[in-house]
Amino acid sequence: MRKFSFGRYALPVYAVLAFIYLLIPIAFTFFFSFNDYRRSNITWRGFTLDNWTSVCEAQGVCAAFATSISIGLISTLIATTLGTMIAIALVRYRFKFRSSISLLLFLPMATPELVLGAGLAAQFFNFGVEMGFTTIVLAHVMFCLSFVVVTVKARVASLDPALEEAGADLYATPAQVFRKVTLPLLTPGIMSAALLAFALSFDDFIITNFNAGPVDTFPKFVYTAAAKGIPAEANVVGSAVFLVAIIAVVLVQLNSARKQKRLLAGK
């Protein structure tokens, strides 16, 4: 008879419990997106599909969501472009204060968002900059930039310089080497950094709240609406974003598995 081993089952049980714990808020959000609510979406009143078919009827939901998407796309584009250039410079070139710059890039990641948001708001106020869409984008670019640099920097450091040297030996110009060799090899890291930056920007509330002025983003809308019960339409948007993210991850994994299978079949 086999002896019972607590250690053998502890890790799987812990993993399952942790997974369930993480999914409870998501399940609650998805479940209450079908709630036939009246004034408050706190208690269950019945099942309905009206919230999904008329999601934009709740005042401010779609406008706030569109604002968050716009801010996320703009700040991600700027932060990814600048961050990629900074990462390449830090890994491939030697210049004065290089180590200090690398250290300073970690400060936005280590600084509490409350301090960062308040500091940025004070700077905008001192310079007479009106709070709004532009200040949100600038704030998001600032804190997303560090995450982009760290992500892309790891990818640049892993590249074999011999591949670029081979391109140069074949009489390619530096621009051609970058476009046809370096950039394709960096693309997975750049895409990962861009997705991370977009997620951070779309999800941010604290820094945005300090620098948004009258502009209403989706996290701000949810926070304000929470006082009287978040409308089910906001749950619909949150559930839809989650489902899109899951579908994207599944498609990427299936595509990777297909490519791996094709490579193995070609050997």
Domain count, the chain: 2
Residues 32-64 pLDDT 10s: 888 888 777 777 888 888 888 888 877 788 899
Residues 104-117 pLDDT 10s: 888 888 888 999 99
DSSP conformational letter for 215: -
Q: Domain residues for 38?
A: 1-53
Task: Assess contact for 232 and 163: CB atoms under 8 A.
Answer: no
The reply to whether 122 falls in a domain is yes
* 77 and 170 fall within a common domain: yes
Q: What is the pTM of this model?
A: 0.84
* 146 and 223 fall within a common domain: yes
The reply to whether 207 falls in a domain is yes
Which tokens hold the place of 171? Answer: 């009489």
Long-range own/partner contacts, residues 15-21 (CB < 8 A, 24 or more apart):
none
Looking up residue 189, the CATH number of its domain turns out to be 1.10.3720.10
The reply to whether 4 falls in a domain is yes
The one-letter amino acid at 97:
F
* 76 and 48 fall within a common domain: no
Cα(36)–Cα(47) distance, integer angstroms = 6
Residues 193-224 pLDDT 10s: 999 999 999 999 999 999 998 999 999 988 88
* 83 and 204 fall within a common domain: yes
Task: Assess contact for 147 and 203: CB atoms under 8 A.
Answer: no
* 48 and 65 fall within a common domain: no
Q: What value does the CA radius of gyration of the chain take, rounded to a whole number of Å?
A: 23
Q: Assign 35 to helix, strand or coil.
A: strand
Cα atoms in the 13 Å half-sphere on the side-chain side of 247: 6
* 94 and 171 fall within a common domain: yes
Which tokens hold the place of 10? Answer: 């502890």
Give exposure, 190-216, as e/b (b: 16+ Cβ within 10 Å).
beebbebbbbbbbebbbbbbbbbbebb
The reply to whether 9 falls in a domain is yes
The one-letter amino acid at 210:
F
* 132 and 23 fall within a common domain: no
The reply to whether 200 falls in a domain is yes
Task: Show Cβ contacts of residue 53 under 8 Å, excluding neighbours closer than 6 positions.
Answer: none
Which tokens hold the place of 124? Answer: 């905008």
Residues 7-30 pLDDT 10s: 677 888 888 999 899 889 888 888
* 19 and 103 fall within a common domain: no
The reply to whether 196 falls in a domain is yes
Cα(159)–Cα(44) distance, integer angstroms = 54
* 30 and 108 fall within a common domain: no
* 146 and 122 fall within a common domain: yes
The reply to whether 134 falls in a domain is yes
Q: Assign 249 to helix, strand or coil.
A: helix
* 42 and 127 fall within a common domain: no
Above 80 in pLDDT, residue 87? Answer: yes
The reply to whether 266 falls in a domain is no
**DSSP string for residues in 36-99:** --SS-SSS---B-SHHHHTGGGSTTHHHHHHHHHHHHHHHHHHHHHHHHHHHHHHHH---TTHH
* 98 and 30 fall within a common domain: no
Residues 105-164 pLDDT 10s: 888 888 889 999 999 999 999 999 999 999 999 999 999 999 999 999 988 888 887 887
